[in-house]
Amino acid sequence: MPPKCKIDPAEDTSIATHPKHPDTKAHMTEVLRAITEVMDGKTMSPTSKLALSPYLARARAIPMLVNPFFSVKDTLNDGIAAWRDIPAEEEPDILEFYDDICGIMPGGRFSKILVNISLRDRGAAKAFVGMIADKAGEGISATTSKFKEKVPEYLHLDPDNPSSPHAITSKRDKAFRGNNNNTCTRALAPIEDRALFNKDPHQYRAKVESGEIEITEESWSSFLFPDDLVYDPMYPEKDMGKGHIFTCLLNCKLVGPSGAFGDRPTGFSASISARHNTTAVTPRIAAYVAYHAYVALSAMPSRSSMDDGTVDLVAYYNNVCNLLSLEDKSGVSKEILDNMTASVPSLLPIPQLTLQPRATPFLTKVPKGKRKLAKPRRDQRPRKNPVEEAKRKRQMRVELARVQHREQRLQEKAQAPSSLSRRPSPYEAGPSGTKGVGGSMRRHPNRIESADEAEPDTQQQREEEEEDLYGGGAFIQNPTQASFLSSIPSRFARRSGSQLATT
């Protein structure tokens, strides 16, 4: 006899419950009944379908919200084994995906239901895991097919001959994509090579074909950026996510093909974003769309190869995800994500539903497991990480901005005495007892010091300058107050700024 359910309904008062089954134990019983009906080949009853269908519908979003490169089936089985104190067959690091899957499932109690179904009926649990894995596979396959079909509609005309259409005559044929097509090559080329490609597209394609130019995951693809962007080596991720191809595919995925160009969707069914409670673009969603955009533009025969000659698509996905997950003073990653969200007008906030998942943590680790490359690499050199390069250049830009701001403050100090310093009165006696300008004058209490008499910079002053630079100063937030204080010495402004802020 299988063990009894370990779930105590009294302990689940803080967990979102099913509207038809507020009791977790009763809900698990309905899910188990639905799984049994599917295993027996029967038609699910309305109550059983209502209990099971939300999990199967959300499973299609696992590749987009969690990761497209891991085995859902193995992860769920290892998660069940870990909960039941059974040694997992895979590496322990793979279990991080188990928590992510449980986090996006509706109701907030998927892990408890899955484990307790396994305790009651292992065959039913195995079938349930298989259903979830199959739906996840359907979700990623549907995205691949849809992008492959729609990307020719989002490409611009051939750069060599703007009056003629692009050379992709078939929406699904891969022979006219990748390096076989000027438009696709320009979209896949690194952003730093765009000017070189525009100079002579055919010569650039020939160098790529011969291996003289290698397109790797060390650089960001041009389709992520606007067509008129001029590459800045100090700011390589500038305007990332504003490319027309990426924007159309992002709208196509989250809203639907009818809203790919920013229009309101015309379909009657709910969009992907509405089904999965997606109200903003996350690093995982952006990386997922960028990865599928690369596959759709390339001549790869299959998505499952996870490698396009010299480009490791797993590393490509993780580089985009890691870059957009960075948190620093510059706020560039957040700005990029905000711009991506703004580029999807139909991605509006929706009311909080009863079955609301918790926020899924951002993925930063490369998935475990064996991977085989479709073709051997032409080089054996270690690949650079563009995320680390972006972090280094962000820090350089921050330091450069701080130095420029510091120089501006010093210039203001040097110019301040000419407009605000007061000549000492001839009746103010100096230490020698003389009067007038020729005497040795003592420092008047109302006299404002000049720039050369100002006190040296301290750590506190540098912190205040950084706060002013990033909008943290109290007196910088008020434009009228800032314009008034900019005309007086900074030492006096720091002393009186807090007084003005309190008023």
The DSSP string of 333-361 is: HHHHHHHHHHT-TT----PPPSS-PPPPP
Give the dihedral sign, CA 297/295/170/345. negative
Domain ranges, ordered by start, for the chain: 9-138, 155-384, 389-417+459-503
pTM of the model: 0.70
Residue whose structure tokens are 């711009």: 339
Q: Which amino acid is residue 340, in one-letter code?
A: M
Identify which of 329, 330, 223, 366 has the alpha carbon closest to the alpha carbon of residue 286: 223
Tokens of 324: 């957009």
For 60, counting Cβ atoms within 10 Å of its Cβ (0-12 exposed, 13-18 middle, 19+ buried), the class is: buried
Sequence-ordered list of residues with C-beta below 8 angstroms from that of 331, at least 6 positions apart, any chain: none
In the structure encoding, which two tokens stand for residue 371, read together? 């991977």
Q: How long is the chain?
A: 503
> Taking phi first (over 0 means left), then psi (-120 to 50 degrees means alpha), and beta for anything else, what does residue 369 get?
left
Per-residue pLDDT of the chain (503 residues), as tens digits, is 333 333 333 333 333 445 455 677 888 888 999 999 989 888 778 878 888 999 999 999 999 999 999 899 999 998 888 876 655 555 455 577 898 999 899 888 898 899 999 999 999 999 999 999 999 999 999 999 999 988 888 886 444 444 444 556 666 677 788 888 888 999 999 999 999 999 999 999 999 999 899 999 989 999 999 988 999 999 999 999 999 999 999 999 998 888 888 777 776 667 777 777 788 899 999 999 999 999 999 988 777 777 777 888 999 999 999 999 988 777 899 999 999 999 988 775 544 444 343 444 444 444 444 444 444 455 556 777 788 888 888 888 888 888 888 888 888 888 876 544 555 555 555 554 444 444 444 444 444 444 444 444 555 565 555 555 544 433 333 443 444 334 444 433 444 444 434 43
- Rounded to the nearest 5 degrees, what angle is found at the Cα of 380, between the Cα atoms of 375 and 385? 100
Q: What are the CA-CA distances from residue 28 to residues 48, 173, 213 (Å)?
A: 10, 46, 57
How far is 318 from 322, CA to CA, in rounded Å?
6
